[in-house]
């Protein structure tokens, strides 16, 4: 596991929560994720990573935290449908900001990331590579929990 690649994603995530939403995440112990096991995350923002390192990074959270992030952002919503759409767009843009900042911090490798994709729904599926381990780093906040899942070739 190359922490010089993983840590920038974790740091960028913590910094984005703090600066954008005044939310201070507290990391918990990382663990190996079982990619075929069920989960209780309701929304995930994910990107594919290419270049010197290849893999997938996902930011997974509960809708209650995403809704709180939307509320803090001050973006007005009029209908439940509009609220759902704005939450998905917020998670997409948040994922984009985190990954952009992480890639900028990784100066020893040539890395590019795809545009973010948002997956929603109870027990939604993420297409993890089958031959690579997935590292999960859970975080807690006063507003709810989230998790960063990282999977790079060779981990």
> In the structure encoding, which two tokens stand for residue 118, read together?
């948002």
pLDDT bin (cut points 50, 70, 90) of residue 30 is: very high
- Containing structural domain, residue 10: 3-152
Q: What is the pLDDT of residues 38-95, one digit of tens each?
A: 888 999 999 999 999 899 999 999 999 999 999 999 998 999 999 999 999 999 999 9
**Beta-bridge partners for 43:** 61, 120
How many domains are there within the chain?
1
**CATH code assigned at 16:** 3.40.1550.10
From CA 41, how far away is CA 80, in angstroms rounded? 20
Quote the pTM value.
0.91
* 98 burial level (CB within 10 Å; 0-12, 13-18, 19+): buried
């Amino acid at each position: 596991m190359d922490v010089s690649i993983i840590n920038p994603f974790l740091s960028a995530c913590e910094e984005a929560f703090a600066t954008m939403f005044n939310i201070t995440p507290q990391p918990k112990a990382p663990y190996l994720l079982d990619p075929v096991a069920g989960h209780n995350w309701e929304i995930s923002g994910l990107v594919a990573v290419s270049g010197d390192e290849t893999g997938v990074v996902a930011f997974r959270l509960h809708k209650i935290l995403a809704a709180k992030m939307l509320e803090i952002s001050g973006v007005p919503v009029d209908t439940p449908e509009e609220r759902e759409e704005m939450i998905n767009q917020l998670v997409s843009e948040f994922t984009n900001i985190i990954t952009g900042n992480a890639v900028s911090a990784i100066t020893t490798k040539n890395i590019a990331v795809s545009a973010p994709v948002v997956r929603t729904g109870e027990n939604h599926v993420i297409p993890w590579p089958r031959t690579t381990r997935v590292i999960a780093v859970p975080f807690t906040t006063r507003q709810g929990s989230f998790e960063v899942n990282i999977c790079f070739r060779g981990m």
